[in-house]
Amino acid sequence: MIGIGLAEPDTFGTCVCRVKDYDMQRLWEDILNFVFLKSFSAPSYFLYDSRFKGRVELDRTACYYIHDYYPSHCGRVHIERERARHSVYAFKDGEKPLLWAKIFSLCLEQLPDFQEIRENAVLIPIPASTRARNVQRYARFCRILSNILKIEDGFRAIWIAQDREQMKGRTRGDKLENVEFNAKYIRGKDVILCDDVTTTGQSLIQMKRKMMELGAKSVMGVFMARTVEK
């Protein structure tokens, strides 16, 4: 595989690295293009924090988030908050899954709670509202992040049997009524639930209780962002 190199003019000391697969090549292309060429889609829109900004506890479950998220109805916000907002939009739309997976991996690697469970961990997304959005947002992201962290990919632990948009007025606040579960990914495992944004925490709470019901050993949550109202 042909690699990518960086050097100052007239520099003779060099380092040559070979990437192991196409996904990693694409990841580094995006990073290098962003830093040096500014050539991939709207690079200034994204915020690249690599540590969890904060921790909240929902239903006695530790949950970590990378950004504060100010929804669009909050109006104009500081440029850093705007970049965080667009990072959330990109994640929701399934854009740049390699990049977001790398950022989540950096955040998790620094987390003692993760290190304690990593040998037995499975990554499971909190389902999106439709099957198509769930696949777009999480399929590649979960596969790549699980591969980087060397943990089990639990994307197939959930199946959206019917889109929530087709069930308006029938869910009575039950966010999992349309979801089927494959317990083999869950039983006896330390579950890491991932999602784009937490606001009220109800999705996390319902998913956590379902995981425990299906035999999970423990549950923690990781989010791209936490909603903040002005």
Q: What local confidence, expressed as pLDDT, does residue 125 receive?
A: 98
Cα separation, 142 vs 158, in Å, equals: 13
pLDDT in tens, 71-104: 888 788 888 888 899 999 999 999 989 889 989 9
Residue 214 has pLDDT above 70, yes or no: yes
**Average pLDDT of the residues in 105-124:** 96
% of the chain at pLDDT higher than 70 = 81
Cα–Cα distance for residue pair 230/228, rounded to 1 Å? 7
Ramachandran assignment for 173, one of left (phi > 0), alpha (psi -120 to 50 degrees), beta (any other): left
Candidate from 6-15, 135-144, 197-206 with smallest mean pLDDT: 6-15
Q: Which of 144, 145, 118, 141 is nearest to 128 (CA)?
A: 141
- Given a contact cutoff of 8 angstroms between Cβ atoms, the answer to whether 52 and 8 are in contact is no
Q: Which of 138, 117, 131, 125 is CA-nearest to residue 188?
A: 117
Q: Residues 11-17: what's their mean pLDDT?
A: 55
pLDDT of amino acid 42: 43
